[in-house]
Amino acid sequence: MDTGSKTPPAAGSPPQSPWALGNLLRFGLTAFQFGLLVLVVRAFQLESRAFLHVMILAWGGFVVTQFLPGRLRMPLFACLSVISVLVVLDLEAGSWLLGLGVLMIGAAHAPVGHGARVALVLALGAGLALLRAGVAEAPWPSAIWPILGSMFMFRTMIYLYDLRHKSAPFNVWNALGYFFMLPNVCFPLFPVVDYKTFCRSHDNDQSWLIHQKGVRWMLRGAAHLLLYRAIYQNFVLDPAQVADGLDAVRVIWSTYLLYFRVSGAFHLIAGLLHMFGFNLPETFHLWLLSNNFTDFWRRINVYWKNFMQRVFFTPVHFMLRRRVSPTAAVVGATLVTFIATWFLHGYQWFWIRGVFPTSWQDAVFWSLLGLMITINVYWESKHGRARALGKFKRTLASELGIGLRTIAMFITITMLWSMWTSGSWEQWELVLGYLGELTFVQGLGVAGALSLLGVAGSLWGRSASVAVVAGGLARREASKPTFWRSSALVCASCGLLLTAGRSPLWFSFEPRLAEAVERLATNKLNAVDAGQLERGYYEDLTDVNRFNSELAALYKDRPPGWNVNDAIRQTPDQYPPYDLHPSVEVEYKGSTLVINRWGFRDREYEKEKPPGVYRIGFLGSSHTAGIGVENHETYENVFEDRLNAELATDERRFEVLNFAISGYGPLCRLATLETRALEFDLDLMVNVGIDDLPWITKELAHAVDKEIDVPYAELVELMAEVEVHKGLPRVVADNRLPRIAERALGWIYERAADVCEENGVATLMTFIPRPEENVARPEHLATQLELARAAGYEVVDTADAFATEPDLPSLWIAPWDRHPTARGHRMLADAVFDALLPHLRED
């Protein structure tokens, strides 16, 4: 393993002068490869737009650095790091972050004793933690917290440790470069780079060797991120949707494989740092091929392992070793290290999210992982582990052993990981329960995939578990690709990626392939997360799963209280279980909700219909209620205004009443129709659905979860068929209810149509679109249309309301909230007008 130690320049290596022809050629080719990688980051929207800007800045800095004398390289890196903070954050937020950082660094160098310095830094940290926890309002923008935390929460500990032992040179440039380290400003999760390694590894080998390693690692990072995206878009499944054994395997494996996101980001970061001469250790080295727990610990995040070893494991062992036996000291130090890891994991999330996570999943995961590693450490301290100076002897038994251990480790760690990341015990239990339903053929497929992993483990997985030095090391060095071969490989790979990234051009002959490549090339939410984002507003899912980095990235910019609707009134003894306070005015999602005296988000109307008025009612959810736009901008009001402007006469005008309330699905709409809307003497009722089929599952599961009575005996009977009743865990209800969803929805539609007919109200159904692509709408829509028609509804088509808009995100009220803007509502109003016009003329 390369830890960035000082190594002598390679024999026959070119001179270090940047102007030597050989070095100029190598530099030119490295700069070209770096440039290609910037284009790859741009083409595939890797990480964030901010990261692209930092990559461009880094590329410019890299070119300048090569022609600077060695003593000026660290100052330039420090300046670029500071500039990156100002580029990514705005001037105000960036200045605050830099100011607070300089204050922390200053405290670490205060002209007092070491103990007093530590106390000073702790006091500052505690003050910041109180502000982060929201005890008082900080004067700086909240956007800086995750980055400030990631720059200082661990590095300050290492810095003080090294400062105490004077184990590295200290000066202002080193400190600025170390703490504000490019590209940290783009990554709340950043490798815990060791200060001594940061200083010691700087330019400790031929520049072109370090740089070439950097571009290779960045390419590997990009590949890992694309692999992550492929898994995220195509493999991730909502645990509630598990239907057989293979689905269960898919859920268990995908939670672990999503870690490619961190692996990719860390490779990109370490590679970028290599471009500035930091010859840092490799991390996430073939982490899927770990074959025991200590091997896993050594591979997966070497920066964290080294940090814990220096700051916790070794000092604790030194304290214990004179008091207890050597084995007990090792075991004790390992346990302390894992307890500290657990605590620091929560500490890290505290700085990123502002809340210290306390979950049973964390407690069980870290306890079990700590226990397993302690047992492994104990075994190794008693029996040692395989090491060799020359070529390691391979036998069939040794290869088979490694392969089987790799498989066993993968199964164990994915089980542990799926438990750690599960939303609840019931959810994990549900998924595990389906494992027993693996068919023979599915089992063969799973065994085949595991066998491939085992073969890979025996072929390539030995390197981190078995140290091979001297002859072995020399062979390994000799087998590394030369600079020119490595450059050719990087250029070819980037060229291939950039070509493939232009999917519309190259894959237009095969739309599904083009679509798959496009999903890979864009940073979009997958169907599961898009669904969760959509559910978020009505089920108040503000607690985004801590492992869901995609949603977390969106939610971190969301203002506090975004989902709090003060107009909502809970009515647990009736159905719908909530409605709106009458005659109130509240701020919600950036707009003002004016609620009329009847408790609806609409203009004021008399209950009794005035003479000469044709009265239309709209049943719907938040999109129809117009969440995120002003009252006069909702499509229902725009439609009403247009009707009266274009169709009204002296004898006839129109009133359009909005009975829509956020979160109302088909069941709430039916209950509203029966209990409230019919009082208003309607001529026409328009029942507006969106994704009614999945929504009926959510409405019934919500009722089960909150122990609310479902008011229709027919639906209760249907639920009983799949053994769903009050008090059942939500995730189990979510999993079972889809089996009766179609029948439940068909019954609801039928009842709504019948009720209208019985009361002499004409009725229509329409399914309005959302301004987004990634919701699994087409399959639902076809079923919903069929069910609505079977129930006797005439369905009018508004599906193409947003069809002319190429940039759908421009119609969202915020990146984290996909309700339509006022422009989106005007488009919906036009579509509704066109769809209803024939019915209104006939009248």
User: Using CB under 8 A as the criterion, which residues of the chain lie in contact with another protein when the complex forms?
Assistant: 1-3, 5, 161, 165, 167, 196, 200, 298, 309-310, 313-315, 317-318, 321, 326, 329-330, 377, 380-381, 384-385, 387-390, 464, 467-471, 473
Closer of 377 and 704 to another protein (Cβ): 377
Q: How far is the CB of 200 from another protein (least distance, A)?
A: 7
Residue 7: CB minimum distance to another protein, A:
8
Shortest Cβ 466–another protein spacing (Å): 8
Least separation, in Å, of the C-beta of 301 and another protein? Answer: 15
Smallest gap from residue 107 Cβ to another protein (A): 22
Q: Specify the residue for token string 């087998």.
A: 479
| For another protein, the closer CB: 167 or 545 | 167
Contact yes or no for 430/239 (Cβ under 8 A): yes
Closer CB to another protein, 166 or 841, in the complex = 166
- Cβ 169 to another protein shortest distance, Å: 13
Q: How far is the CB of 120 from another protein (least distance, A)?
A: 22
Alpha-carbon gap, residue 719 to 700, rounded angstroms: 8
> Does the bond joining 576 to the residue before it have cis omega, within 30 degrees of 0?
yes
Residue position matching structure tokens 């599960």: 422
Q: Which of 557, 534, 790 is nearest to 662 (CA)?
A: 534
- Give the number of other Cβ atoms within 10 Å of residue 433's Cβ: 14
In this structure, are residues 683 and 614 in contact, taking their beta carbons and an 8 Å threshold? yes
Give the list of residues 6+ apart from residue 804 with CB closer than 8 angstroms, or none: 827
> Cβ of residue 378: shortest distance to another protein, in angstroms?
10
Question: Quick one: DSSP state of residue 577?
Answer: S
| Torsion over CA: 601, 602, 606, 610 (sign) | negative
Shortest separation between residue 295's beta carbon and another protein, angstroms: 10
The answer to whether the CB of 601 falls within 8 A of the CB of 610 is no
- Is the CB of residue 349 less than 8 Å from the CB of residue 356? yes
Q: How far apart (Å, rounded) are the C-alpha atoms in residues 318 and 329?
A: 8
Residues with Cβ within 8 Å of 727's Cβ and at least 6 positions away in sequence, in order, are: 704, 707
Residues sharing a CB contact under 8 Å with residue 264, sequence separation 6 or more, in sequence order: 221, 222, 223, 224, 225, 226, 227, 228
Distance CA 684, CA 832 (A): 14
CB of residue 545 vs another protein: minimum separation in angstroms?
33
Nearer to another protein, 309 or 412 (CB): 309
Q: Locate 772 and state its tokens.
A: 């987004």
- The residue written with tokens 């508004």 in the block is 798
Q: Which is nearer to another protein, 431 or 468 (CB)?
A: 468
| Complex with another protein: residue 388 or 795, whichever CB lies closer | 388
**Kindly report the CA angle at 150 between 144 and 154, in degrees rounded to 5?**
140
For residues 326 and 582, which CB has a smaller minimum distance to another protein in the complex? 326
Nearer to another protein among residue 110 and residue 389 (C-beta): 389
Q: Which is nearer to another protein, 200 or 601 (CB)?
A: 200
Nearer of residues 381 and 821 to another protein, judged by Cβ? 381
To the nearest whole angstrom, how small is the minimum distance from the Cβ of residue 256 to another protein? 25
What is the gyration radius of the CA atoms in the chain, in angstroms? 31
SS3 annotation, 185-247:
HHCCCCCCCCHHHHHHCECCCCHHHHHHHHHHHHHHHHHHHHHHHHHHHHCCCCHHHCCCHHH
Find the shortest distance in angstroms from Cβ 298 to another protein. 7
**Nearer to another protein among residue 57 and residue 344 (C-beta):** 344
Which residues lie below 8 Å from residue 113, measured CB to CB, with a gap of 6+?
A: none
Tell me the residue type at 124.
L
Buried/exposed 313-348: b ≥16 CB within 10 Å, e otherwise: beebbeebeeeeeeeebbbbbbbbbbebbbebbbbb
Residue 342 C-beta: closest distance to another protein, Å: 19
The Cβ of residue 399 has, within 10 Å, a number of other Cβ atoms equal to: 16
Q: How far is the CB of 317 from another protein (least distance, A)?
A: 6
Separation of first and last alpha carbons in the chain: 81
Residue 326 Cβ, how far from another protein at the closest point, in Å? 6
| Tokens coding 285 | 């080295």
Backbone angles phi, psi at 191, to 5 degrees: -60, 140
By beta-carbon proximity to another protein, the closer residue of 393 and 607 is 393
Question: Is residue 733 within 8 Å of 701, Cβ to Cβ?
Answer: yes
**Extended strands (E) in 441-484:** 467-468
Residues 6+ apart with CB under 8 A from 340: 308, 312
CB of 464 to another protein, least distance (A): 7
CB of 394 to another protein, least distance (A): 16
In the complex with another protein, the residue whose CB is nearer, 305 or 546, is 305
| Closer to another protein by Cβ: residue 305 or 770 | 305
Handedness of CA 360, 364, 367, 369 (dihedral sign): negative
Smallest distance from another protein to CB 3, Å: 4
Nearer to another protein, 247 or 282 (CB): 282
> How crowded is residue 385: how many other Cβ atoms within 10 Å of its Cβ?
14
Which strand (E) or helix (H) includes residue 585? Answer: strand 585-588
**Which residue's CB is nearer to another protein, number 387 or number 725?**
387
Q: DSSP class of residue 677?
A: G
3-state secondary structure of 684: strand
**What does the alpha-carbon distance between residue 359 and residue 183 come to, in Å, rounded to a whole number?**
31
Do 218 and 86 touch, CB atoms closer than 8 A? no
Given the complex with another protein, which of 107 and 331 has the nearer CB atom? 331
d(CA 690, CA 663): 11
Burial class for 594, CB neighbours closer than 10 Å (0-12, 13-18, 19+):
middle
167 or 821: CB nearest another protein: 167
